[in-house]
Amino acid sequence: MTAGLALDVLLAVALPLVGLAAVLRRDLVQSVMLLFSLGVLLAIAWARLGAPDIAMVEAALGAGVTGVLFLSALARVGPDDAAPRAASVRVALAALAAAAVAPVALAVEALPRAFEGLGREVLARVPETGATHPVTSVLLDFRGYDTLLEIAVLLLAVLGAWAARGGAPSPRPPAPGPILTAAVRLLLPLMVVVAGVLLWVGSSAPGGAFQAGTVLGTTLVLATLSGGVALPRVPPWVVRSMLALGFAVFLAVAGATAASGRALLRYPGAHAAGLLLAIEAALTISIAVVVWALFERDPEERRAEGEAGGREGEAA
């Protein structure tokens, strides 16, 4: 299939070039848009590599959330050129990046050509887990411990983002206007439903907590962007609880499995599917709020400023 090969070549050439351009261009808006383009190209690349789960997350994150985060940051910083770094710093950074990538490249090159990895073993034991989709099995069962730690890292990221942002209020946006409001009112329920579907099918098809969580999170961001359309006003402690929920539930299950004498995160066979779904549901909520929290500041800050009656209320 020469068209497929040509597509792969096109992607292989375009991806690093777009990435380089995103980093090297001075105009920050250009960089953000190039990163967005990189996200779409990457999603296609993942599709070509037979990884629809990652393609989905890349589509949601790279072609959705990161664009919004960067544009919002730009709005605060101003779209002027980035302060040019000294040449020595740029060279040092490039050398650092090369030093980080080189060992990985060498290791990949050193792999035996017929390297199969653990694929066959994993596929053979997927029926033992609570899911039929191998990716979900690996993420939440075989390597569940890694995922548990990843969620903790996400929480830390939010804490760091909130701390770094401080109490700086978001720029007051112009009124969203009837078209955006109508579109958001139409899309929001759809996005919630799609997120729910993605969560539900995650055990047997590409989907699951990360995909559903990022879609749901982008939904929250979209609602906030357009002036809080259809967003209920919740007290800050609710937001914090939802942030912690995924990690808490996962940790509780891990603790229970360890305490009951089994190996850590070895789910009891009969309940495995239900447990996985419960964990994924909690993770979805948390990931969604994580995405939103990276975009908005700590609601505690807003309340402390006495702005509680502000934007959310007037546009709703």
Partner 1 sequence: MTAVLGAFALFCAANVVAALWRVLRGPTAADRLLAPQLFGTTGIAVLLLLAEALGAPSLRDVAVVLALLALVTAAAFALRVAGSSARGEPEP
Partner 2 sequence: MTALDWMALPFLAASAFFFLAGTVGLLRFPDLFTRLHALAKADNLGLGLAVVGLAIRSGSAAVAVKLVLTWLLALVASSTSCHLIARGARREGVEPVRGRR
Residues that bind partner 1 in the complex, under the rule CB under 8 A: 1-4, 6-7, 10-11, 14, 18, 21, 25, 27, 29-30, 33-34, 36-37, 40-41, 43-44, 47-48, 50, 52, 55-56, 59-60, 63-65, 67-68, 71-72, 74-76, 78-79, 168-174, 176, 180, 183, 187, 190-191, 194, 198, 205-207, 211, 215, 218, 221-222, 225-226
**Per-residue tokens: 235:** 């007290």
- Binding partner of residue 78 among partner 2, partner 1, none, CB under 5 to 8 Å per kind? partner 1
Q: Which is nearer to partner 1, 240 or 311 (CB)?
A: 311
Q: How far apart are CA 303 and CA 301, in angstroms?
A: 5
Q: How far apart are CA 64 and CA 72, in angstroms?
A: 13
Q: Which is nearer to partner 2, 163 or 179 (CB)?
A: 179
Q: At closest approach, how far in Å is the CB of 123 from partner 1?
A: 17
Residues 6+ apart with CB under 8 A from 181: 226, 227, 229
- Binding partner of residue 179 among partner 1, partner 2, none, CB under 5 to 8 Å per kind? partner 2
Number of H helices, E strands in the chain: 14, 0
Q: How far apart are CA 154 and CA 238, in angstroms?
A: 18
Site string for partner 2, 24-63 (x = CB under 8 A): ----------------------------------------
Q: At closest approach, how far in Å is the CB of 104 from partner 1?
A: 26
Q: At closest approach, how far in Å is the CB of 184 from partner 1?
A: 8
The answer to whether 43 and 266 are in contact (CB under 8 A) is no
Using CB under 8 A, which residues numbered 171 to 210 contact partner 2?
174, 177, 179-180, 183, 186-187, 190
The secondary structure of the chain in percent helix, strand, coil, rounded to multiples of 5, reads 75, 0, 25
Helix extents (H) in 143-268:
144-165, 177-201, 209-225, 236-259
Site string for partner 2, 123-162 (x = CB under 8 A): ----------------------------------------
Q: What single string gives the DSSP state of each residue in 4-69?
A: HHHHHHHHHHHHHHHHHHHHH-S-HHHHHHHHHHHHHHHHHHHHHTT-HHHHHHHHHIIIIIHHHH
Nearest residue to 300 via CA among 220, 241, 223, 227: 241
3 interacts with partner 2 by CB under 8 A: no
- Binding partner of residue 75 among partner 2, partner 1, none, CB under 5 to 8 Å per kind? partner 1
Q: At closest approach, how far in Å is the CB of 197 from partner 2?
A: 12
DSSP 269: G
- Binding partner of residue 100 among partner 1, partner 2, none, CB under 5 to 8 Å per kind? none
